[in-house]
Amino acid sequence: MKKIEAIIRKSKYSAVKKALHEVGVNFFSYWDVTGLGNEKAGHVYRGVSYSTSDIQRRYLSIVVNDDFEEVTVNTILKEAATGDVGDGKIFVSDIKEVYRIRTGEKGGETLR
């Protein structure tokens, strides 16, 4: 099993969520996060431009069976990309085990 963590633009979240559902990734968690990166966000308020180094993003946490890793990563890459600095990052790590709390069942079947 793999844990896929993605930090994406908030504006791309709906497209990524829809695309993940279309390929069969129906469960994941997400958070609104603020971070620092290479992109410098600029804001205009009443005609005055100012910049900030704090950037708003959405953080996705997805656990999939090994055979879904590639399709999940490729879906996020396709849907989250704008081609500009600040599109985000994807991190993939191994998951040793998973348990379903309700039944005590363990293993990859708990993800279905």
Residues 37-72 have pLDDT tens digits of 766 656 666 776 655 567 789 999 999 999 999 999
Q: Contact at 8 Å (CB) between 22 and 85? A: no
DSSP 108: G
Work out the pLDDT band at 111, boundaries 50, 70, 90. confident
All structural domains of the chain: 2-111 (3.30.70.120)
In sequence order, the 6+-apart residues with CB closer than 8 A to the CB of 55 are: 34, 35, 36, 37, 39, 41, 86
Residues 6+ away with beta carbon under 8 Å from 13: 30, 58
β partners of residue 6: 60, 90
pLDDT value of position 85: 82
